[in-house]
Amino acid sequence: MAETEAVSQAELIPKVQLKRTSIFYVMERMKRGKLVRSSGNVPSGKGRSTILWKIYEGAGTFLVAYFGHKHNYYRVYSFQGGLLQAIDRPFSPTIGDAIAELQEIIQDLNGTNGNRHAPLRGVAVSLAGIIDSTNGEVILSRYWRMEHYALATELKKLWDTSPPLILVENNARLSAWGERCNGLARESRDFIVLTIHGASKRESTRAEIGLGSGIVLDGRLFAGKNGGAGELDRFFTKWLLTHYPAGSVPSSLTEMAEEQLRDFASDLGNNFSHIINYLAPEKLLVNFNEEPPSPLFVKWLREAVHANLEPPGGQDFPVEMSPRGVESLLDGGIHRLRQLYFAPSNHLLQQVQQTLKRR
């Protein structure tokens, strides 16, 4: 039901392998518990109509947070996945500051400051770095100056009682999943997303432009061992490091002269062509995260990729620019969070059990 707009009880029979009378009983109980609701009737023949059911939007909320390089982004979604509220704040100088701000947002959602949404069922937090999403651990983040930091454990401390489902995920991977669910890769099962994110100039130690990539293979988000898949090492940033003295790497592509931009795009395109030759994806997408889109950069990147593909002459391989920026990441966050919650997670099972216990 979480994956569809509306469904009939007859359509649920082969999914749950229960009798029609049992499904009717359970649906009525969940309706009284405000976990599902009817969304209308459709004719079913012989003058009868069939009730369509859907997830009740007010059964809970989800929160997606992105600790970016220029801003912190918070999005509140209904249980059905519809956007309820968007909050953008200036970036946080430390991870401690970011967590404290997240706590304020959560308190506001819980009604501490006068507002109140439905109970929070899941929280996704995304940031740059090597992220082990299975264990909720930041293996390494140079931007946040963290190594083997148990972020999910720290987030759980924000609740006095049982915390909601918590997801910690890399920003480039969520951008890729956002393209898969609601972007340029909706029809693709194998693709790569190159993310280019600008940095704030307000702190010299964090002024360098960032690179990352997200990989989707066979329709699944690929993280690799300890979340290291897609992390671009110094082989990909070598051009930047050799053309700019220490501490002078640009914070944005807009700071580069046209010749520098072309050379950088060509170098990246040459490097990515080896990954494309090896993985054989359907396309390469370029996402500009907190960075103005650059069609020229994508053009030169595409030319370099095509020049190095095997077999020669791979001029038809798509290299496309995503127009969605940070929204791809946030979209990926809510889709991934709901996917995990309705897998089902223990959190969902507990919610259903509590609902069915109500008279």
Q: How many other C-beta atoms can be found within 10 angstroms of the C-beta atom of residue 147?
A: 12
Q: What is the pLDDT of residue 83?
A: 96
Q: What is the pLDDT of residue 155?
A: 98
Question: Do 101 and 92 touch, CB atoms closer than 8 A?
Answer: yes
Q: How far apart are CA 351 and CA 314, in angstroms?
A: 51
**Closest to 69 (Cα-Cα) out of 194, 191, 198:** 198
Q: How far apart are CA 204 and CA 311, in angstroms?
A: 44
Q: What is the pLDDT of residue 312?
A: 63
**Closest to 194 (Cα-Cα) out of 109, 145, 116, 264:** 264
- What pTM, to 2 d.p., does this model score? 0.92
Q: What is the mean pLDDT of each run of 10 residues along the chain (359 residues)?
A: 85 85 87 89 74 91 96 96 96 96 94 69 96 96 93 96 96 98 96 92 64 96 93 81 84 94 96 93 96 96 94 82 97 97 93 79
Give me the CATH topology for the region 7-55: Arc Repressor Mutant, subunit A (1.10.10)
Q: What is the pLDDT of residue 136?
A: 97
Q: What is the pLDDT of residue 244?
A: 87
Domain ranges in the chain are 7-55, 59-171+333-357, 173-327
Instruction: Please determine whether the domains at 59-171+333-357 and 173-327 fall in the same fold group of CATH.
Output: yes
Handedness of CA 174, 117, 86, 107 (dihedral sign): negative
Q: What is the pLDDT of residue 66?
A: 98
Give me the CATH topology for the region 59-171+333-357: Nucleotidyltransferase; domain 5 (3.30.420)
Q: What is the pLDDT of residue 204?
A: 45
Q: What is the pLDDT of residue 92?
A: 95
Q: Which CATH superfamily is domain 173-327 in?
A: ATPase, nucleotide binding domain (3.30.420.40)
